[in-house]
Amino acid sequence: MCLAIPMEVKEIKENWALVEYEGTRREVRLDIVDQRPEVGDYVIIHAGFALHRIDEEEARISLAYWKERLAHAPETFE
C-alpha cells in the first residue's frame, strides 16, 4: 500500500522543492505537479514527486486525519 501526504514547500530550486512535515524534510521533483507551487504552499507528495498543490486548509484537515488515524494504529504490523 502506498500513501501520499501533504507537505509544506520550504524552498524551490529549478525543478526541485524542499518540503517539510513536522521536521521531516525531503527533496522532491516538480515534474508532474498539476500546479507549480510557491514557497509556503502545500503539495501532496508520493514517491519523490509533488503530485498536486492543495490549499492550506485542505492540507491541515488531511494532516489532522492522519494524526488521528496513526494515534490508533498498532505499533507493529503482523
Q: How many CB atoms lie within 10 A of CB 7?
A: 24
pLDDT digits (tens, 9 = 90+) for 33-68: 999 999 999 999 999 999 999 999 999 999 998 888
What range defines the domain where residue 67 resides?
Answer: 5-71
Name the burial class of residue 32, with classes exposed (0-12), middle (13-18) and buried (19+) by CB atoms within 10 angstroms of its CB. Answer: exposed
Is 27 a domain residue? yes
Is 31 a domain residue? yes
Is 65 a domain residue? yes
Is 15 a domain residue? yes
Structural domain count of the chain: 1
pLDDT band at 2 (very low <50, low <70, confident <90, very high): low
pTM of the model: 0.83
Q: How many CB atoms lie within 10 A of CB 30?
A: 18
Is 37 a domain residue? yes
Q: What is the pLDDT of residue 66?
A: 84
